[in-house]
Homo-oligomer: A and B are copies of this chain.
Amino acid sequence: MFGVTILGNNSALPAYNRHPTAQVINLCDQLFLVDCGEGTQMQMNLYKIKRSRINHIFISHLHGDHYFGLPGLITSYGLLGRVADLHLYAPPPLKEILDRQLAVAGTVLPYMLYFHPLKEGTMADEEKFSVECFKVFHRIDCYGFLFREKRKPRKINIEAASKYNVPFELFDQLKEGNDIMLNKELIKNEELTVANKPPKAYAFCADTIYTESLSEKVKDVDLLYHEATYLKDKTEKAVSRFHSTSEQAAMLAKLSNAKKLLIGHFSSTYESLDSFLTEAQAVFPDTQLALEGQSFIV
């Protein structure tokens, strides 16, 4: 299951029981935390997130509503006796801040915390997936993340393989999509395999002003998360603060040919979120609100 669970969907000022940004991505049996606003560890308790399964944390930028929950989470991992390595991908100054916070507390973590400074390009390249990092456009250095499954091997058609008596040794070739020679006869791959599910991709666009150029970086993703801090009557305010409106998020989804759109980072000005959905769906019908505690399939 490739999906995302929302832990926080509000912008900087917590309001109406909405929390600052945090999301958990479930990909290839691993959990990835993306941003960690204040209270994220409490939200994890509330929504029963198995925090021990998180080994990679990505922080988009150093506005507090995207990382003020991180020192607490890191400390709690220590108190819980974590021993597994933890990888943190974040803007460079965060390392120095965390190091200082741990030092003044006299805290020595019982696990290894590896810090990876964010930069554009591939941040993780595993057998079954990759995570890419791309620049978005905000008041300070800010990055989005693209979680992408790798092409999955074709599946053996067991019935057909039995009929041809294909030795197991050739299965790997078949899964890769190759034809095979059997008793001097060429057998086309399609006769022995079926296609697997196509690889999926999730893009998290962090905090950003609306810009068409972003669509190239998140082209054709299955699920696009784009911030929607304001409604369209506040477009000028959005621009001045390097944020986006709900309509702009939808325009970006359309431009990038995303299959589905998820919007969040709502301003604390708004108690009801209904209009965010209406305004986005007018442009891009397959839009959902990133509601806290809800999970979305990529």
Contact = CB atoms under 8 A, between A and B. Distances in A.
Interface of A: 12-15, 17, 19-20, 38-39, 41-42, 45, 62-65, 68-69, 71-72, 75-76, 79-80, 91, 93-94, 96-97, 100-101, 104-107, 139-140
Number of copies: 2
24 contacts: A12-B75, A12-B76, A12-B79, A14-B42, A14-B72, A20-B72, A38-B38, A38-B41, A38-B42, A38-B72, A39-B42, A62-B105, A64-B72, A65-B72, A65-B75, A68-B71, A68-B75, A91-B104, A96-B100, A97-B97, A97-B101, A97-B104, A104-B140, A106-B140
Given A15-B45, A76-B13, A100-B93, A105 B39 contact: no
Nearest to A80: B13
Contacts of A97: 97, 100-101, 104
A14 B42 CA distance: 7
A94 to B, nearest CB: 8
B140 A105 contact: yes
Contacts of A106: 139-140
Nearest to A40: B38
B76 A71 contact: no
